[in-house]
Structure 1
Amino acid sequence: MSSHLPDDELRAFIATLPTRRLASAAIIRDESGRVLVVEPNYKDGWTLPGGTTEAGEDPRTGCFREVLEEVGLQLPAGRLLLIAHGVNQGMWGDSVSFLYDGGQIPSNTKITVQEEELLGYAWVAPEDLDGYVSPRVADRLRTAIGCIADGTTAEVGPLH
């Protein structure tokens, strides 16, 4: 016989548990190994196609849904490359970010930028990523690119 907490006690306990935001993005490369980055209109800097995982959605599904919405690319859902933990991120709290392999596409592929969220896109060589994203994020992206090459998955963090 198992004992269970009454629903109200269980709900009260669950309310005390920590929460984390989930985000996911895709590393999409061209035939030269450059990475597709996008420039959002709601914050400074550049990022990868992707975004926040919606309620009831797993990170992989959310990633490739966001890729389709943001840059108009219907890509096969690639494998997980990197998990990054963010803790104590100010108003953002704690988070987990998932980077997936978006595969390789020709650089002349039509990119349709979602104008509600993005100003534009660029193809950037891995060694030049520091000019677009923070050095810490650039290192993580290069780590994920290395995971593509060697078939591994990396876990990094926490962000501070």
Structure 2
Amino acid sequence: MTEHTSDASWQETAARIVADSTLDAVIYADRSGTIRLWNDAAETLFGHTADHAIGQSLDLIIPEKHRGAHWTGWDRVMDSGRTRYGHDPLSAPGVKANGERVSLEFSIVMLKDDAGEIEGIAAILRDVGKRWEREKALRAKVRELEGQAQQD
């Protein structure tokens, strides 16, 4: 006979397996912007261990010059329960433990309690810096070829 677990227990187990297995960074922050979940891929991407990151503010990964805008938007979402993001991946800079900037693409999910109140936001992030550099090089090559074609 197979032992069955409750739906909540199964969901928590499945969520942990996904977060621990994905190649993307998975971060969850509560309403205050305090990091509560930091998977192995987040450690690799940002260079902070989970032990260091958990309990810290999201400022840990937000470049200083972007923090004001971030927290203004964060507060608006926490107050309204709505975000204009979530359907398309977002692009934003991040900062690693060593101070290096990283180009990020990510999606977010608002997590709500049974009453519909936001408990926090989960983000699934990836470094798109290499892709961005390739696209930049391709755009430069296209401009070069267009310039050559106009000279002919």
Same fold (TM over 0.5): no
Give TM-score scaled by structure 2 length.
Answer: 0.26
Computing the radius of gyration over CA atoms, which structure comes out larger, 1 or 2?
Answer: 2
Give TM-score scaled by structure 1 length.
Answer: 0.26
Q: Flag the structure with more relative contact order, 1 or 2, with Cα contacts below 8 A and sequence separation at least 6.
A: 1
Higher helix proportion, which one? 2
